[in-house]
Amino acid sequence: MPRLSQPAPRGSDAATIQAEILEKLAYAIGKDPIVAKDHDWLNATILALRDRIIDHWMSSTRAAYQAQVKRVYYLSLEFLIGRLLRDALSNLRLTDAFQQALANLGVKLDLVELLEPDAALGNGGLGRLAACFMESMASLDIPAYGYGIRYDHGLFRQKIVDGWQMELPEDWLENGNAWEFPRREAAYEIGFGGQVSLETAPDGKQRRSWNPAEKLMAVACDTPMVGWRGKRVNTLRLWMARALDPIRLDAFNSGDYGAALSAANKADVITNVLYPSDSTPAGQELRLRQEFFFTSASLQDILRRHIQQYKDVRNLAEKVSVQLNDTHPSIAVAELMRLLMDVHGLVWKDAWAITQGVISYTNHTLLPEALESWPVHLFEQLLPRHMQIVYAINAALIADAQALPACTPEFLSSVSLIDENSGRRVRMGQLAFVGSHSINGVSALHTSLMKESVFHDLNMLYPGRINNKTNGITPRRWLLDINPKLADLLCGAIGAKVLDNAELLTEAQPFANDAVFKEKFAAIKRENKVALANLINERMGIKVDPSAMFDVQVKRIHEYKRQLLNILETIALYNSMRAHPDRPWVPRVKIFAGKAAPSYAQAKLIIKLINDVAKIVNSDPDIGDLLKVAFIPNYNVSLAEMIVPAADLSEQISTAGMEASGTGNMKFGLNGALTIGTLDGANVEMLEHVGKDNIMIFGLTAQEVEDRRRQGVDAGAVISASTDLKGVVDALSSGLWSPGDNGRYRPIVDSLYHGDWFMVASDFEAYAKTQRDVDAIWRNPGDWTAKAILNTVNMGWFSSDRTIREYARDIWNVPSA
């Protein structure tokens, strides 16, 4: 690599930056300041900042290459990075200078920032975690690449019509993306279908050769990921799908326009939408195509980079660590084996040792559907060579299992990569486990349950691979960026050192009893609540009182996350307020947000119920401001950045044993919200850090949930034993909350009476009682604020910096700052 001189340092004063912005406006955007619109100023600002980032980016890449350091490659189907301008400005400590430069030009930075679209590259916690990890890896000076898909339309843009969720295409790329760099030279063929043959290589050895029937190209787009203080800039590389021949002119000229563009359309559909519904065979095929497409492109790119520098794949495990973020990229195990054997000529034994040495796997869920399995016939049809490799891996696995003294047919069936009990399916979670040297859970409870449940037998067969790495969040975005006044208050109390090490937040614990500090803390919370109240009014026409308790549950809509429990208790609270208007009720604003998967009918029905309840409650003059309900549409990172600093109460109420970790709980806690939650996921560790008096825990434990499911629950008796719950369920059954459609909520009522799998009825009374305990604390503002402060200052351990240091030390074997 040629040695390039370092660029001259750029001035960080407002005048220099102003000149750079004007230059970009003129020569990159082609606009005179006199006629420039806000979106022109946004792009000019991004491009001016981007130039500064490029300096750091190139020096980071160059230094990693010259030092021959090990690189980390993070494969994830989601990267929920949100808006990047504010984050990059903050991490480079350039916010004030850019703000002043734009002000000199008559432009407000805050208004420009709002025009940047959220990158529609994810759905929820999985994608947001990946984004936090990318930022922390750069902040800790770990050379890393993120690999994913450049979705044209993301998951979907949510619109609420008559209370129902409607899915519309997300248009985040409609006006281009000023952050990205297309890399046409980084393009790889991706194959599907075809035949496998045995061929003689130039060295005389026979090798398997896959001859795909269908091929397309994966083309890279790079986005810089800026670390804290610009210490390092890493790369997020996202793949676009392109047809080898975008148009068949013979077909076009003959008038068969559909056939002429069929190859291009087939390629485009792979990167159109995140998580296409897999409720149909076509949807399942598209999901598998997506996962193989980005995984194969990423591994080919990794091997190309490695060989370019080291000339040999045999030292791959010494220089490369590939982290699979959940089960989606688990096909990497078979694809890396194929590449090492069929392309690079390694024998099975050597290829398998390298594959296991390179790959590690993070499991994020115990839900069977999220572990993924594919019908053997589909897998074999799309990826015939990989099916052969999976069978060979499975044969070795079965041989290892049969060598155990206590091996039984049931044990063999449990560990096998092929599920013979459900129409023959390839178990992708099992494949990821077997092909990895490390398998980690994402909270202490989740890791423990993983050993006891989904990977119990594999853990017996290959002990020592499972370890825990509790999730974390980047404090730069989730405190400094979204709640700068709170960050300033904390820095004023214990010093700016806390910006570099969030775990030092604990030094601020004494300020929970400091009257002046508490008053300032409460004033900041109030200001954030006013901002959110204005947003709710502007977007939804609902006026809410900022002095009321903001009770928040924002996350993906799923039955195990139990938005249903929340809204049923809200109905019960409303009934009590109407029945007992003389009681000293605590005013509440119940805030919901989140998307339901398009084919998840029950989750979409829960959204409808929330909106039906809101419609009635919000228009009741007898209740007034005592209770309001708001479901804010189209939840994304930018909306979360408004909601999180304004929350008083954080709802983390999943069925115990079903939430792997959660990171929303950490974000809310860091910003001074009290948590009401079950002993699930990272709530368990939050309890340990903030103390039992500062978190409101209720409900069944994971073991108790398992026991009840095994023994069976008389849900009818449980519901009848609760006067409040019985009244709510009867009202749902009668159509009181669905005028004109009495049977609308029959599926919800049936789910409660027939099994209550998610323990909504079983936990209702404990939840309702704990909510009244929350009321009691709220009535003493000084006590509430002290508890809120203790949540904030004890959240530093949940920094993603701590998590990434543990990955670096225990799994990747790379140094970290």
Amino acid at 272: N
Amino acid at 748: I
- Is 518 among the residues known to form the active site? no
- Looking at 140-268, list the stretches that DSSP marks H as alpha helix, in order from N- to C-terminal side: 249-253, 257-260, 262-268
Report helix, strand or coil for 630: strand
DSSP character string of 200-237: E-TTS-EEEEEE-SEEEEEEEEEEEEEPGGGS-EEEEE
Catalytic residue among 83, 667, 689, 787: 667
Q: Cβ(186)–Cβ(237) under 8 Å?
A: yes
**Whole-angstrom Cα distance, residue 298 to residue 569?**
47
Counting every residue, how long is the chain? Answer: 817
- Is 555 among the residues known to form the active site? yes
**Whole-angstrom Cα distance, residue 470 to residue 806?**
9
- Is 667 among the residues known to form the active site? yes
- Is 689 among the residues known to form the active site? no
Catalytic residue among 555, 558, 588, 595: 555
Burial level of 208, CB count in 10 A (0-12/13-18/19+)?
middle
| Torsion angle of the four alpha carbons 779, 781, 783, 789, in this order, in degrees rounded to the nearest 10 | 140
Full 3-state SS string of 671-686: CCCEEEECCCCCHHHH
Q: How many other C-beta atoms are found inside a 10 Å radius of the C-beta of residue 209?
A: 15
Instruction: List the one residue out of 359, 243, 350 whose CA is nearest residue 299.
Output: 359
- Give the C-alpha distances (Å, rounded to integers) separating 111 from 100, 179, 184, 527, 758: 14, 19, 34, 18, 43
- Is 556 among the residues known to form the active site? yes
Catalytic residue among 153, 364, 386, 628: 364
Catalytic residue among 476, 556, 558, 689: 556
N- to C-terminal Cα distance for the chain? 26
**Whole-angstrom Cα distance, residue 169 to residue 72?**
33
- Give the C-alpha distances (Å, rounded to integers) separating 599 from 78, 280, 283, 602, 743: 19, 10, 11, 9, 20
Q: Which runs of E-coded beta strand occur in 668-780?
A: 674-677, 696-697
According to DSSP, residue 8 is labeled: P
Burial level of 205, CB count in 10 A (0-12/13-18/19+)?
exposed
- Is 364 among the residues known to form the active site? yes
Catalytic residue among 328, 477, 561, 689: 561
Full 3-state SS string of 361-399: EECCCCCHHHHCEEEHHHHHHHCHHHHHHHHHHHHHHHH
Q: Cβ(593)–Cβ(556) under 8 Å?
A: no
Catalytically active residues, by annotation? 364, 555-556, 561, 663, 667
